[in-house]
Amino acid sequence: MLSISHGLSGALVATKLIHPLLFIPACLAVHYLEDWIPHWDVGTGLSTGKRKKSTAIGLELVELAITVGLIYWFWAPAGLSTLWLAGAGAFAALLPDFMEAPRNFLKWEPSFLKPFNDFHGRFHHSTHNLTVGLLPQLIVVVSVFFLK
């Protein structure tokens, strides 16, 4: 999934569950559930050579900036403590992708990350079909907007 979907989902979960012992595992569970749904993301095509790493990195940086902007827009009116909580939830929800980044972009995988990345890979279902791949993510973003 796009970082936007994962980040917003994690922000929503954290602002509803509040305590880190509750929201961190829930954010991780939501990440894996979202990755189970066929989706398109900026990394789609990296393993087949259809997308350059530099392109994927550039798109990911733009996407992370959009994620931060949306989190600010959705949760800043609720106050600074809620905004920080939303940010922590977004970070927790994006953690599996952050741990996978060295392998995907640097072809380097520290041994302690391999079991986590292998577990993550079991859930990941990408599609090259942009419409099919973006529709569930649009649903996530709109749902988060109304549930926040």
**What percentage of the chain carries pLDDT values higher than 90?**
86
User: Are the beta carbons of 117 and 109 closer than 8 angstroms?
Assistant: yes
Mean pLDDT for the stretch of residues 86-95: 98
The pLDDT confidence band at residue 49, using thresholds 50, 70 and 90, is confident
Bridge partners of 76? none
Residue 6 confidence (pLDDT): 98
What burial class does residue 112 get, using C-beta atoms within 10 Å of its C-beta: 0-12 exposed, 13-18 middle, 19+ buried?
A: exposed
Report the C-alpha gap between 78 and 92 in whole angstroms: 20
The pLDDT confidence band at residue 46, using thresholds 50, 70 and 90, is confident
Q: Is 79 helix (H, G, I), strand (E, B) or coil?
A: coil
Indicate whether this model's pTM tops 0.85. Answer: yes
pLDDT at 90 over 90: yes
Residue-wise pLDDT for 7-16, tens only, equals: 999 999 999 9
The pLDDT confidence band at residue 82, using thresholds 50, 70 and 90, is very high
**Residue 78: C-alpha distances to residues 71, 120, 140, 145 (Å):** 11, 33, 21, 14
Q: Is 82 helix (H, G, I), strand (E, B) or coil?
A: helix
